[in-house]
Structure formats: structure tokens, C-alpha cells
């Protein structure tokens, strides 16, 4: 299954849990795995508690790792200003695999599947959800 989400960039965090759960349910798989993948080199997919304080904490820590305003070789080569977005995307990664049990993604009580868009402005992101297993 594929779907699109609109983002604001600059570390925007979008909860994908409802869409991922719906894809698992539509697949009919009861036991297996689901992989969530974002096409693009300036966004990432991970699992976390989608809570406002934690989202601010994560953004603050990631800004220390790869500051948005820093000078990157990537900027000189391509003339854009999203070198940090590429680095953060590479560190977190473009995909997440979650077990499927009893026909649902097996997430913890406070765990959601999220997209983080690090690019320098709004984007439309294409998300792929693949579900494999037994029906």
C-alpha cells in the first residue's frame, strides 16, 4: 500500500500509526512483519511516543547532532541548504519493520510509527507499507 502525507519540513513529525494499522488490516496478514518506508533522502521513519514534549526534546537533540544552520559540503556542491537533513535521515533511516501479531502491528502501549521530515521546507512524502506473513 502507498499513501502520501504533507509535511512542513524542519523536523516535522507525522504520526503514521493509523495508516500503517489500516494497511496491515487490509492485507489480511495475522502473523508476520510490516515494513514502513519513506522514499527520499531527507526524511526518516521510526517508532516513538508521539508526545509533544518528547517531540521537542528529539528536535533539540537532533539539532545538536546536525545543526540546520551549519555549513555542509553538500551545500557547496548542490547549492541548497539541507545537508543536515540528509545526515539525520541517514542516521535514523528511511524504514522501520514492525512485527504483526493477531492482525495488528505489535507496538508498545506508548509507541507510534512516525515520519520525520528534516528537509528545508514543505514536502509531499510517499510512504510505502509492505506486509508479509500468514493469513
**Is pLDDT above 90 for 110?**
yes
**61-70, Cβ contacts within 8 angstroms, sequence gap of 24 or more:** 62/11, 62/88, 62/118, 63/11, 65/91, 66/91, 68/10, 68/120
CA distance 60 to 50: 15
**Residue 106's CATH number:** 2.60.120.460
Mean pLDDT of 52-63: 97
Question: What's the pLDDT band for 125 if we cut at 50, 70, 90?
Answer: very high
Tell me what the pLDDT averaged over the chain comes to: 96
Task: Please give the full DSSP string across 48-90, using - where no structure is assigned.
Answer: E---HHHHHHHHHHHHHHS-TTS--HHHHHHS-S-HHHHHHHH
Instruction: Give the residue numbers spanning the domain of 26.
Output: 2-134
Predicted local confidence at residue 77, as pLDDT:
84
Number of separate domains in the chain: 1
Amino acid at each position: 500500500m502507498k499513501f502520501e502525507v504533507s509535511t512542513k519540513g524542519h523536523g516535522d513529525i507525522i504520526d503514521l500509526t493509523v495508516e500503517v494499522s489500516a494497511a496491515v488490516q487490509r492485507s489480511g496478514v495475522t502473523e508476520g512483519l510490516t515494513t514502513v518506508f519513506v522514499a527520499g533522502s531527507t526524511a526518516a521513519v521510526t517508532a516513538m511516543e508521539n508526545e509533544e514534549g518528547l517531540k521537542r526534546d528529539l528536535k533539540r537533540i537532533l539539532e545538536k547532532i546536525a545543526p540546520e544552520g551549519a555549513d555542509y559540503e553538500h551545500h557547496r556542491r548542490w547549492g541548497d541548504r539541507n545537508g543536515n537533513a540528509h545526515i539525520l535521515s541517514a542516521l535514523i533511516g528511511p524504514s522501520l519493520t514492525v512485527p504483526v501479531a493477531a492482525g495488528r502491528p505489535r507496538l508498545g502501549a506508548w509507541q507510534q510509527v512516525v515520519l520525520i521530515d528534516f528537509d528545508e521546507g514543505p514536502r509531499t512524502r510517499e510512504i510505502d507499507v509492505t506486509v508479509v506473513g500468514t493469513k
